[in-house]
Structure 1
Amino acid sequence: MADARMMRLLGGAAALITGLLLGAASTLIVPATSAEDVSITSPTPTPTPEPASLQRADFRKCSLQPAIDAAGDLTVHATFTDDATGQLLAEFHDDEPVPTASVMKLVTAATAYEVLGPDYRLTTQVVPGTKPGTVVLVGGGDPTLRSGDSSYFPGTTASIADLAAQLGNQRITAVGIDTSRYTGPQWHPSWGPEDRTLGYMSPISALMVDGGRADPAAQESPRSEDPASDAAAVFAAQTGASFDPALKPAPGAMPLAAVESPTVAELVDLMLLESDNVIAEVLAREVAIKLDTGTDFDAINQAQRQALLWLGVDVTGFVGADGSGLSRDNRASAETIDELLRVVSTHDELAPLLAGLPESQRTGTLERRFPELADGAVNAKTGQITESLGLAGWIDVDGGRVRMVVMVTRPVGGENAPVSVGVDRPLLDSVVARAQECGLQLSGQ
């Protein structure tokens, strides 16, 4: 990874040196080799004007260092790159793997596009149960399945009522559930219980309604402790049946009803725009299943690393503990995320996923950030956990765009010392705002 950074630096330096040599060639004066070679009758040489290419104004001289220094005991891990030329403008601790926060969702989005494809959908089915007159609700991973008419998820999503309607007038006596598509613990050991009660995350089950929300229409709503049972209860009420958790699908049973989720492209857009953790976990799990690395949390890291390598992204130091970035165990360097952004933006089949990135003062998780800049000047994925804060995307500047990755951590007291959103995020934002002000004249010194 250091070699890649050096190549970008050398590329920019080579261009500058070439310009200097070309600019100076027409005015180059070769000095006399000895005193005898100098004639006292020689005309006084015309003073050589300083070549334009040597003017100080032609060097990048807008320093980011004051904003870095103002961050105090925060460690800034960052890359800033001229998006048009690929020249590295500034870097700080960019090869050090750190907790990613929700910047990890960029990895989840890219690997979902690469492995599953943008048109892939998740299917929820109803199949006959092992007892006459019974059915089993089979989870296919769709977190957007609606319990009723209202939903936080925008657009057209499938509902439990849709499934029940497909059964027609069949008399159903009992309903069971099948959540076997996902195995292992439903709650990652590094997630805190407050993430469920505050409404950031639900236990991850292959069967759920409303993303596990208590209030289907609220983005941040306390989440269920048992999403699959909640879904079964809604379906049982729709069909006038009882819920029997012991019921299993009949061997070789064909589906009686089925509904599909929005496409991966639509799910990725929502995941990036609103930083939806549950969608991220489902997509990461589906990628692992497709790559046959497993069906539990442990399968995610291997699947993400494999998909990133396919994309040509160096995975040195990378750890994908989950798909959402909520885990403090995730690791990626700013250099790795920068390389991922470059690959995604230059590949036609992947670039559409960037449409879901929030825009400052306009959409998603950046809607209320960077009021001092022009609306939409920052287009990036946000991230925040107590171990790190992050931004990864693009900054519009005079004359072009700067691709940037910024993740900040606090080393005092160890890597798990808390980072404060209220106190520390403005410091991160000031680094990005300074980079926008400097634009293509940005320098790390």
Structure 2
Amino acid sequence: MGFGERIGDTLRVPGRGLRRFVTVLTVLVLAAGVGSAVSLTAPTLVADLGLTGAPAAEGPPAPVPALGPLAATAPTPTTAGLEAVLGPAVEDMPGRFAGTVVDPATGQVLWASDADRALVPGSTAKVLTAAAALLTLNPTDGFVTRVVAGTQPGTVVLVGGGDPTLTALPEGEDGVYPGPARLDELVREVREKVPGPIDTVVVDTSRYSGPTSAPGWDPSDVAAGFVTPIEPLMLDGGRLDPTVQDTPRTSEPALEAGQVFAELLGADDVETGTAPGEGERLASVTSAPFSELVEHTMRTSDNVLAEALAREVAIARNGQPSFAGAAEQTIGALTQAGFDPAGAVLVDGSGLSTDDEVPARLLGTLLAAAATPAEGERDTDFLRPLITGLPVAGGDGTLDDRFGIDAPSAPGRGTVRAKTGTLTNVSSLAGLVTDADGRLLVFAFMSNGASPATVRPRLDAMAAELGGCGCR
């Protein structure tokens, strides 16, 4: 895959001392979903815990090993074996299909069907955004929201730092984002520095440039709850209900955040403007680390958070913090790291645009790099949040309601982990699974031109079949 062969001056690959990721092989994470569901529903569990009134045993029984690393000698599927299993499904797939299966331990492409064909990816485009963020940003850093003194007495400036997870919920109440920075903390810090009255809050959104909506976006997506205008200041991703992932959003996220902040400070006026160059810093709060936010983006397919991460990549690489600049720098970061983005066209960071195009080959290559076993000084374990953030089939995230127990894909429950992508006539699924012989495999399946209601169950079934066969 060539990763790391073209590291340049503008790419900041984090050192080992800064990595906060799980370095255990991905196969352990996958295996955990297999055994736990059985053990938690065992009929003897209540009795074993002494909750039925029956006499408890003298000490717990000896644990029975259930999980362990996959054998490095697990046989590799053959191309012919994979074709025998996946080929008929491709033949029956409506619309245009592209797919690939990769062995992450070797980087070898084991099976491909039009894998270089660029199709509209939907939210699997977030794989590119997340990879670029992990390649570029310090994983322990986060978004920083600041308040500085204004030029006039009684005026403060709320400076948007790009953090869509900033919340007005009080401490102890959780929204959809992990470990969010809180507006209450900003208010407390400001009050410590400015004990007198505050009359005006100025809202500074100068961190971003260009349009707040990308080409190919459906304007109804704001009301539908999938996205909000992309500004560097907002509360809870612009959600009207901060506890629900997909809920109607505001059309003025920065202004509304400023209004809530002003109310908490007792200020009457809210204006737009920019912070003075020498303004005294009065307060600041920082989001959860970028590594955790990448995981959240992958698991929940959060469009707003993906767009914010893409702009941070652009800023870190001295690009324009706009849709076009973020897309350009995302491709640039992947290229600089040695990946081949040929055929990929991005106009946003979330995959919400129907103008995006990505080849299945690139999705497979990126996920395979993230799933590669850690080896020596040039390992890729800092890409691991691409894998640990993948939803579990039938378990969580955007796969929680798929791979139903009565569906043909049911054997994939708890074993398939994958990023989803769905738009009108667009369906994609890219992730990994362990096959029947104990080999970890990466896959990327994409379809354009047919209804997701028809295609998604077929893609799920393909992933489940991949996990159920030895394919030799």
TM-score normalised to the size of structure 1?
A: 0.81
- Mark the CA change 1:59 to 1:408 in structure 2 (over 3 Å): closer, same or farther: closer
Alignment partners' CA distance in 2, 1:348 and 1:59: 31
Name 1:324's counterpart in structure 2.
350
Name 1:263's counterpart in structure 2.
289
- Mark the CA change 1:292 to 1:251 in structure 2 (over 3 Å): closer, same or farther: closer
SS across alignment from 1:78: strand
- Mark the CA change 1:363 to 1:121 in structure 2 (over 3 Å): closer, same or farther: same
Name 1:393's counterpart in structure 2.
431
Of residues 216, 233, 239 in structure 2, which corresponds to 1:207? 233
Name 1:360's counterpart in structure 2.
393
Name 1:343's counterpart in structure 2.
369
Shift of 1:125: 0.7
Is residue 168 of structure 2 the alignment partner of residue 135 of structure 1? Answer: no
1:411-430 matches, within 5 Å, as 419-430=450-461
Name 2:69's counterpart in structure 1.
none
Name 1:278's counterpart in structure 2.
304
Shift of 1:188: 1.2
SS across alignment from 1:373: helix
Q: Which amino acid aligns with 2:189?
A: Q
User: Paired residues, what number?
Assistant: 377
Task: Provide the identity percentage.
Answer: 38
Is residue 445 of structure 2 the alignment partner of residue 406 of structure 1? Answer: yes
Alignment partners' CA distance in 2, 1:432 and 1:290: 36
SS across alignment from 1:176: strand
Shift of 1:402: 1.9
Of residues 175, 186, 196 in structure 2, which corresponds to 1:152? 175
Name 1:167's counterpart in structure 2.
190
Alignment partners' CA distance in 2, 1:161 and 1:393: 39
Q: Which amino acid aligns with 2:389?
A: G
Alignment partners' CA distance in 2, 1:59 and 1:190: 39
Is residue 337 of structure 2 the alignment partner of residue 311 of structure 1? Answer: yes
Name 2:216's counterpart in structure 1.
190
- Mark the CA change 1:436 to 1:131 in structure 2 (over 3 Å): closer, same or farther: same
Name 2:97's counterpart in structure 1.
76
Contact 1:328/1:387 (8 A) holds in 2: no
- Mark the CA change 1:420 to 1:301 in structure 2 (over 3 Å): closer, same or farther: same
Shift of 1:70: 2.1
Shift of 1:306: 1.1
SS across alignment from 1:62: helix
- Mark the CA change 1:248 to 1:308 in structure 2 (over 3 Å): closer, same or farther: closer
Shift of 1:251: 3.7
Alignment partners' CA distance in 1, 2:196 and 2:109: 65
Is residue 287 of structure 2 the alignment partner of residue 254 of structure 1? Answer: no
Alignment partners' CA distance in 2, 1:243 and 1:176: 8
What CA deviation, in whole Å up to 9, does each residue of 1:144-199 have, x standing for no partner?
11122344234431111111111223320111100000011111131111211110
Shift of 1:435: 2.6
Q: Which moved more, 1:227-236 or 1:84-93?
A: 84-93
- Mark the CA change 1:170 to 1:319 in structure 2 (over 3 Å): closer, same or farther: farther
Of residues 381, 391, 402 in structure 2, which corresponds to 1:369? 402
Shift of 1:59: 6.6
Contact 2:425/2:451 (8 A) holds in 1: no
Name 1:13's counterpart in structure 2.
none
Contact 1:129/1:247 (8 A) holds in 2: no
Alignment partners' CA distance in 2, 1:301 and 1:58: 34
Alignment partners' CA distance in 1, 2:273 and 2:398: 42
- Mark the CA change 1:353 to 1:170 in structure 2 (over 3 Å): closer, same or farther: farther
SS across alignment from 2:119: coil
Shift of 1:69: 2.1
Alignment partners' CA distance in 2, 1:67 and 1:438: 14
Shift of 1:213: 0.4
Shift of 1:314: 0.5
Q: Which moved more, 1:98-107 or 1:349-358?
A: 349-358
Alignment partners' CA distance in 1, 2:368 and 2:307: 24
Alignment partners' CA distance in 1, 2:80 and 2:272: 72
Alignment partners' CA distance in 1, 2:429 and 2:181: 33
What CA deviation, in whole Å up to 9, does each residue of 1:87-143 have, x standing for no partner?
433211111111111111111111111111211211111111122111110000010
Stretches of structure 2 lacking an aligned partner (at least 5 in a row): 2-77, 373-379, 405-409
What CA deviation, in whole Å up to 9, does each residue of 1:304-355 have, x standing for no partner?
1111012211111111211111011111111111111222223122224421
Q: Which amino acid aligns with 1:348?
A: D
Q: Please give the root-mean-square deviation of Cα atoms over the aligned residues, in Å.
A: 2.0
- Mark the CA change 1:59 to 1:390 in structure 2 (over 3 Å): closer, same or farther: closer
SS across alignment from 1:183: coil
Alignment partners' CA distance in 2, 1:158 and 1:331: 34
Q: Which amino acid aligns with 1:98?
A: L
Is residue 466 of structure 2 the alignment partner of residue 435 of structure 1? Answer: yes
Q: Which amino acid aligns with 1:364?
A: G
SS across alignment from 2:120: coil
Q: Which amino acid aligns with 2:443?
A: M
Q: Which amino acid aligns with 1:81?
A: V
Q: Which amino acid aligns with 2:458?
A: L
Shift of 1:395: 1.7
- Mark the CA change 1:165 to 1:435 in structure 2 (over 3 Å): closer, same or farther: same
Alignment partners' CA distance in 1, 2:276 and 2:319: 27
Contact 1:62/1:438 (8 A) holds in 2: no
Q: Which amino acid aligns with 1:362?
A: G
Q: Which amino acid aligns with 1:92?
A: S
Shift of 1:227: 0.3
Alignment partners' CA distance in 1, 2:314 and 2:125: 15
Q: Which moved more, 1:213-222 or 1:366-375?
A: 366-375
Shift of 1:387: 4.4
Alignment partners' CA distance in 2, 1:74 and 1:283: 32
Name 1:100's counterpart in structure 2.
121
Name 2:51's counterpart in structure 1.
none
Is residue 403 of structure 2 the alignment partner of residue 382 of structure 1? Answer: no
Q: Which moved more, 1:102-111 or 1:428-437?
A: 428-437
Structure with higher Rg: it is 1
- Mark the CA change 1:271 to 1:136 in structure 2 (over 3 Å): closer, same or farther: same
Contact 2:103/2:368 (8 A) holds in 1: no
Q: Which amino acid aligns with 2:130?
A: A
Stretches of structure 1 lacking an aligned partner (at least 5 in a row): 2-56, 411-418
SS across alignment from 1:393: strand
Name 1:294's counterpart in structure 2.
320
Q: Which amino acid aligns with 2:423?
A: I
Contact 1:300/1:320 (8 A) holds in 2: no
Contact 2:120/2:358 (8 A) holds in 1: yes
Name 1:236's counterpart in structure 2.
262
Name 1:111's counterpart in structure 2.
132
